[in-house]
Amino acid sequence: MHFLDTPVERYIDETAILLGLELDPRWQPDIVANLSLLRDYAQLVTEFALAVEDEPAPVFTP
Amino acid sequence: MTEPDSVASTVARVQDGSLSAKEAVAGALDRIDKIEPALCAFTDITRTRAVREASTVDKAGAAGTPFGRLAGVPYAVKSLFDVEGVTTLAGSRINAGNPPASQDATLVARLKAAGACLVGSLNMDEYAYGFTTENTNYGWTRNPHDPERVAGGSSGGSAAAVAAALVPVSLGSDTNGSIRVPASLCGVFGLKPTFGRLSRAGTFPFSNSLDHVGLLARSVTDLALVYDELQGSDPRDPACAPRASQAVAPEIGVGAGDQRIAVVGGYFAEGCGSAAAVAVRAAAAALGTTRTVEIPEAGRARAAAAIVTAVEAASLHLDNLRTRAHEFDPRTRDRFLAGALVPGAWYIQALRFRHWFRARVDALFQQVDILIAPATPIPAPRGGEKVMVVGGVEVAVGAHLGRYTQPISFIGLPVIAVPIPEAGPLPIGVQIIGPPWREDLCFRAAAALEASGAAAAPPIPATASQN
């Protein structure tokens, strides 16, 4: 299993504790949906090969 | 019905004495009083300030002092701009408990110095995180062309107020499309300049490395006249570039001339409805181009922009997410919470990808001067719609509205969203995209489209007309 395929529910619960976030259980489905969408986006970004010189700009300039 | 004055006609009439600034402001306030209750575009109406500023303009004129270049022009600002004496709501219930701003945002101060008169602050998605301006705290801003449809967002109040001619010009902000999306859905012109061109000082941030400020108006001329007064470096905004102003108003009569213009295909030709496709074809035909180019990896750029936005926005609000999460708008709270949980490696990879993507688009601009792309995939959806079907595929309304704008703002390119009436009964626009710092090229192309008749703000809708 690729790490991006890991179910996010457990990750949300445990990372929220680390960040000091108290999550109302009623919010869980929408947080799961949003983080799952971001995970899909991350898959697109992280699977793309970049060179070591492709660094983030300290101050972004167009 | 008499058409309300534009920026240009207001300035001309105040200068020739056929209209006083107080009359101009009174006209705007009268329209707001009659139309705003059904529109929900404003969160504050700064009546006293507007009249005071107009009086100052009129007294200076009577004393023989030269008028400012925007003398007597009524305007309004998205509620994330600081207005002295008004709490900067940014669409949030949490911010309503903050003290009033102690000074104006830089751009508000510049408009005041030019003689413009502020009539109020405008509704938006909470903290700018949305594309529809269906705000749980301050109401749902209606689309003036069909009140059952959304105005777009997050600068929805800014677009609706201009489309309904409550003001001839408004300020907004754009992080992923928040000027261009509502401009498209409401049928007005919207400028998102190059990242760092206009000062963000005194605006409530959303995503620090992607936030732009800009403006909306009903014509290219009005957009240019006001944009020229907003330019200039500002040490109060570290992202504002130390560049000299580059006036565009003198450029708009030049025409597109020998500009190399191309339609963006590939990703930008997929996922849209027929109206958006018609709008792009009409703009291309009016500008005389049959050329198509592709922006490589635009889908990944959109994905990376979404990650950067989520992380930066959540980081900004982390303290309130810990202690006051229940006070967030339910429409945005879960996006912020999800953003707080994003692994750091995803964020850094997205920033690294931006470096790669910018270099590829820079190379493309060696071959072309102006790119044409859809502004939104569809005209305004109905309020409350969560999903829509585009090309037989069901997609989330909120996210999909930014499909074509996000890759462009991700690398800070200047864009004018231009309304194309030929596309159908509901407004929809195209993006006129230029190389970094070449707003002048965007203005020339947008003005050429307007002069050809292909681009125009639709008539003020009947729902916003007054007898």
Contact state of B306 with A20 under an 8 Å Cβ cutoff: no
Per-residue pLDDT of B414-429, as tens digits, reads 999 999 999 999 999 9
User: B163 or B390: which carries more pLDDT confidence?
Assistant: B163
Whether the Cβ atoms of residue B177 and residue B402 lie closer than 8 Å to each other: yes
ipTM, two decimals? 0.92
Q: Is the pLDDT of residue A5 over 80?
A: no
Q: What is the DSSP string of A40-57?
A: HHHHHHHTS---TT-PPP
Using the CB atoms, write b or e for B320-335: b if 16+ within 10 Å.
bbeeebeebbebbbbb
Instruction: Kindly state the average pLDDT of the residues B444-449.
Output: 97
CB atoms within 10 A of CB B432: 32
Instruction: Kindly state the average pLDDT of the residues B178-183.
Output: 98
CB atoms within 10 A of CB B12: 14
With a CB-CB cutoff of 8 Å, which residues 208-247 of chain B face chain A? 209, 238-239, 241
Chain B residues closer than 8 Å to A31 by CB? 334, 337-338, 341
A26 in any annotated domain: yes
Whether the Cβ atoms of residue B218 and residue B179 lie closer than 8 Å to each other: no
Which residue is closest to B410 within chain A, CA to CA?
A62
Per-residue pLDDT of B197-229, as tens digits, reads 999 999 999 999 999 999 999 999 999 999 999
> What percent of chain B has a predicted confidence (pLDDT) above 90?
93
Q: Is the pLDDT of residue B264 over 80?
A: yes
A54 in any annotated domain: no
What is the architecture of the domain spanning B7-464? Answer: Alpha-Beta Complex (3.90)
Range of the structural domain that residue A11 is part of: 3-46
Distance CA B140, CA B130 (A): 12
Phi, psi of B190 (to 5 degrees): -135, 130
What contacts B39, CB < 8 A, 6 or more positions away?
B141, B142, B144, B147, B160, B161, B164, B166, B464
A58 touches chain B (CB under 8 A): no
Q: How much is the mean pLDDT over chain B?
A: 96
Give which of B11, B212, B26, B255 is closest to B116, Cα–Cα.
B11
Burial class (CB in 10 A: 0-12, 13-18, 19+), B409: buried
Contact state of B355 with A24 under an 8 Å Cβ cutoff: no
Give which of B179, B150, B170 is closest to B409, Cα–Cα.
B179
Instruction: Please state the domain count of chain A.
Output: 1
Amino acid A2: pLDDT: 46
Angle at the Cα of B89 from the Cα atoms of B84 and B95, rounded to 5 degrees: 110
Say whether the peptide bond before residue B154 is cis (omega within 30 degrees of 0).
yes
Per-residue pLDDT of B80-117, as tens digits, reads 999 999 999 999 999 999 999 999 999 999 999 999 99
**Candidates B300, B355, B437; nearest CB to A57:** B355
Amino acid A1: pLDDT: 40
Confidence band, pLDDT 50/70/90 cuts, at residue B462? confident
Distance CA B125, CA B147 (A): 17
Helix (H, G, I), strand (E, B) or coil at B220: helix
What contacts B392, CB < 8 A, 6 or more positions away?
none
Distance CA B184, CA B65 (A): 40
Per-residue pLDDT of B118-132, as tens digits, reads 999 999 999 999 999
Contact state of B340 with A59 under an 8 Å Cβ cutoff: no
Amino acid B253: pLDDT: 85
**Candidates B307, B352, B413; nearest CB to A41:** B307
What are the extents of the domains in chain B? 7-464
In single-letter form, the type of residue at position B132 comes to T
Q: Is the pLDDT of residue A61 over 80?
A: no
Span of A50-54, B163-167, B429-433 with lowest mean pLDDT: A50-54
Distance CA B284, CA B121 (A): 36
Whether the Cβ atoms of residue B203 and residue B80 lie closer than 8 Å to each other: yes
Amino acid B390: pLDDT: 79
